[in-house]
Amino acid sequence: MAIAIQRLPEMRTPVVRAVSDRAFGGAVFFYFLGVVLPSEFAVNLFGLALIPVRVVLLVFFVPALIQLTKDRDFRPQAFDYFLIMAIAWMLFALCVNNGVEKGIKYGGSLALEALGGYLLARAYVRNYTQFAAAVSAYFLFVLVVGAVAVPEAFLKIKFVHAWASALTGNPDTAVTSEAGRLGLERATSTFDHPILYGAFCATSVGLVWYLNYNRTDRWIRAGVIAFATFCSVSSAPLLAYAMALGFVGWERWTRQISNRAAITIAVAASGFLLIEVFSNRSAVEVIIALIALDSWTAYYRVLIWQNAFVDLSNNPLFGAALSAWTRPRWMTGSVDSFWLVTALSGGLPAALLVGLAVIVMMVKVHARRLGFRETRERWQCRFGWTAAILGLCLQAFTVHYWGSMHSLFFFILGMGAWMTDSRNGLLGVDTTTRAAAPHPMPLRDRPRIAARGRQPAIVPRGR
Residue 360 lies in a domain: yes
121: nearest Cα among 409, 384, 361: 409
- Measured on CA atoms in the order 111, 112, 117, 119, is the torsion positive or negative? positive
Domain assignment present for 307: yes
Domain contains 463: no
**Distances from the Cα of 129 to the Cα of 225, 315, 418, 422, angstroms:** 23, 46, 12, 13
Nearest to 318 by CA among 112, 117, 99: 99
**Closest residue by Cα to residue 142 from 55, 222, 251, 252:** 222
**pLDDT of res. 43:** 86
pLDDT mean over 288-307: 70
Provide the pLDDT confidence category of residue 308 given band limits of 50, 70 and 90.
confident
Q: What pLDDT score was predicted for residue 450?
A: 40
Q: How confident is the model at residue 8 (pLDDT cuts 50, 70, 90)?
A: very low
SS3 of residue 45 by DSSP: strand
Residues 145-171 pLDDT 10s: 999 999 988 888 888 888 888 888 888
State the residue range of the domain holding 180. 2-458
Residue 82 lies in a domain: yes
**Domains held by the chain: number:** 1
Q: What is the dihedral of CA 21, 27, 29, 33, to 10 degrees?
A: 180
pLDDT for residue 173:
78
* Residue of higher predicted confidence among 183 and 109: 109
Coil, helix or strand at residue 99: coil
Statement: residue 17 has pLDDT above 90:
no
State the average pLDDT over residues 229-241: 90
Cβ(55)–Cβ(34) under 8 Å? yes
Q: Is residue 33 domain-resident? A: yes
What integer best gives the mean pLDDT of the chain? Answer: 81
Q: What pLDDT sits at residue 47?
A: 67
Which pLDDT band holds residue 122 (cuts at 50, 70, 90)?
Answer: very high
- Assess whether pLDDT exceeds 70 at residue 115: yes
Strand-pairing partners, residue 48, are: 45
Quote the pLDDT of residue 374.
78
pLDDT of residue 83: 96
Please indicate, yes or no, if residue 106 is contained in any of the structural domains.
yes
Task: Identify which has the larger pLDDT, 47 or 219.
Answer: 219
Q: What pLDDT band is residue 319 in, cutting at 50, 70 and 90? A: confident
pLDDT tens column, 373-393: 778 888 999 999 999 999 999
Count of beta carbons in the 10 Å neighbourhood of residue 166: 11
Question: Phi first, then psi: what are they for 76, rounded to 5°?
Answer: -55, 135
With 70 as the cut, is the pLDDT of residue 180 above it? no
Mean pLDDT along residues 167-184: 72
Q: How confident is the model at residue 179 (pLDDT cuts 50, 70, 90)?
A: low
DSSP-assigned letters across all residues of 188-225? -TTSSSHHHHHHHHHHHHHHHHHT---HHHHHHHHHHH
CA 243/CA 388 separation, integer angstroms: 10
**Main-chain phi, psi angles of 190, to 5 degrees:** -95, 0
Q: What is the pLDDT of residue 178?
A: 56
Residue (of 131, 19, 114, 56) closest to 341 by Cα position: 114
Q: How does residue 370 score in pLDDT terms, banded at 50, 70 and 90?
A: low
Task: Provide mean pLDDT across the span 33-52.
Answer: 86
Task: Give mean pLDDT, residues 263-292.
Answer: 74
Per-residue burial over 418-436, b if 16 or more Cβ lie within 10 Å, else e, is bbbbbbbbbbbbbbbbeee
State mean pLDDT over 91-105: 88
pLDDT higher than 50, residue 35: yes
| pLDDT greater at residue 57 or residue 282 | 57
| Separation between Cα atoms, residue 451 and residue 457, nearest integer Å | 9
Mean pLDDT of 65-89: 91
